[in-house]
Amino acid sequence: MKQILVTGGAGYIGSHTAVELINAGYEVVIVDNLSNSSIDSLDGIEKITGIRPAFEQFDLVDKDKLENFFTKYPNIAAIIHFAASKAVGESVEIPLMYYKNNLVSLINLLECQLKFGISNIVFSSSCTVYGQPDQLPVTENTPRKDAESPYGNTKRVNEDILKDTIAANPAIKGIALRYFNPVGAHPSALIGELPLGVPANLVPFITQTAAGLRSELKVFGNDYDTIDGSAVRDYINVVDLAKAHVVAVERLLENKNKSGYEIFNLGTGNGVSVLEAVQAFEKASGVKLNYKIVGRRAGDIEKIWADTTFANEELGWKAETGLEETMLSAWLWEKRVRGME
């Protein structure tokens, strides 16, 4: 059984990917410092799959600990690197923490890949690298733009670190996956997104408002050049997204990649406005959401959605879950977490 290291595997996308990897017959080893995740997600993974992944708690910035890890686990066949700091606002306040956490952890992993002979890495990137694109939808060849935040810049620079390292070391192969907006939860409601404090992202804010933790959702802006004036994103179901990681790992393990470094957009291909997302939630949950329209949020872009042709044709992967079903999964998870079921 092939062993896959999932960094950040206790987190939101990492835990869903651990489940899909186990379902596909891989052995998962999770490294997580639990800075923005909970050990409880391992219980969820175990309940869903019947298997509890191996778990090591440490920070990837600590090179000695990482080297000790690879000595302890000499059979890792591939790495999926989720672990990163990801709050846009916080990255503006404490940029050095973001650069250190996100850049040094990838550099340490790549150095260990060379030292311990691990060929394959899948990296979590983001559509944030496109900024506000000049043309929609965005393909993988759409030019990247200057990042709007230190967080966004870490994704851009990490893509370059990966590309340059692979160019210089043909022993390493990598795939960068540019996520659009991952939302929803596992249909079992046993794992999901659990933001610390007040959520910055739309769907956790919606579900927390519906659950009574927040008095109202603020819709940031209704004067954008979009269908109803609210901003447009490409919301991708987290289980669909997790499955793309299994395909990407298989592609590397089976040498199906066309070049050493590849990039794929992971989205649905559909642009959805904030107000449409609210409607989809209301329809799926049967709960009327209290919301009000306020001014734009600083740093937000107007609209973005993915051209998924390359991922569909080359990976053979496609987002399958509809937005209402995804919203329902987010709602079932929120209710379970709040003891409402």
Give the catalytic positions in this structure: 151
Contact letters for ligand UD1, residues 286-325 (x by CB under 6 A) = -----------x-xx-------------------------
Beta carbon nearer to ligand UD1, 174 or 204? 204
Interface region with ligand UD1, contact rule CB under 6 A, candidates 13-21, 49-57, 116-124, 197-205: 197-205
| Minimum distance from residue 297 beta carbon to ligand UD1 (Å) | 5
Between residue 207 and residue 226, which ones bind ligand UD1 under the rule CB under 6 A? 217-220
Beta carbon nearer to ligand UD1, 69 or 130? 130
Beta carbon nearer to ligand UD1, 244 or 274? 274
Alpha-carbon Rg for the chain in angstroms: 19
Between residue 44 and residue 103, which ones bind ligand UD1 under the rule CB under 6 A? 86, 88
Between residue 132 and residue 191, which ones bind ligand UD1 under the rule CB under 6 A? 152, 181
| Minimum distance from residue 160 beta carbon to ligand UD1 (Å) | 17
Give the per-residue SS3 of the chain. Answer: CCEEEEECCCCHHHHHHHHHHHHCCCEEEEECCCCCCCCHHHHHHHHHHCCCCEEECCCCCCHHHHHHHHHHCCCEEEEEECCCCCCHHHHHHCHHHHHHHHHHHHHHHHHHHHHHCCCEEEEEEEHHHHCCCCCCCECCCCCCCCCCCHHHHHHHHHHHHHHHHHHHCCCCEEEEEEECEEECCCCCCCCCCCCCCCCCCHHHHHHHHHCCCCCCEEEECCCCCCCCCCCEECEEEHHHHHHHHHHHHHHHHCCCCCCCEEEEEECCCCCEEHHHHHHHHHHHHCCCCCEEEECCCCCCCCECCECCHHHHHHHCCCCCCCHHHHHHHHHHHHHHHCCCC
| Minimum distance from residue 214 beta carbon to ligand UD1 (Å) | 9
CB 50 within 8 A of CB 190: no
Beta carbon nearer to ligand UD1, 53 or 204? 204
| Minimum distance from residue 174 beta carbon to ligand UD1 (Å) | 20
| Minimum distance from residue 15 beta carbon to ligand UD1 (Å) | 16
Q: By CB under 6 A, is residue 279 in contact with ligand UD1?
A: no
- Distance, in Å, from the CA atom of 150 to the CA atom of 86, rounded to the nearest integer, reads 10
Between residue 9 and residue 28, which ones bind ligand UD1 under the rule CB under 6 A? none
CB 216 within 8 A of CB 291: yes
Beta carbon nearer to ligand UD1, 85 or 119? 85
Binds ligand UD1 by CB under 6 A, chosen from 274, 280, 319, 330: 274
| Phi, psi angles (nearest 5°) of residue 213 | -80, -25
Nearest position to ligand UD1, beta carbon: 231
| Minimum distance from residue 262 beta carbon to ligand UD1 (Å) | 20
Contact letters for ligand UD1, residues 114-133 (x by CB under 6 A) = ------------x-x-----
For ligand UD1, the binding residues (CB under 6 A) are 86, 88, 126, 128, 152, 181, 200-202, 205, 217-220, 231, 233, 274, 297, 299-300
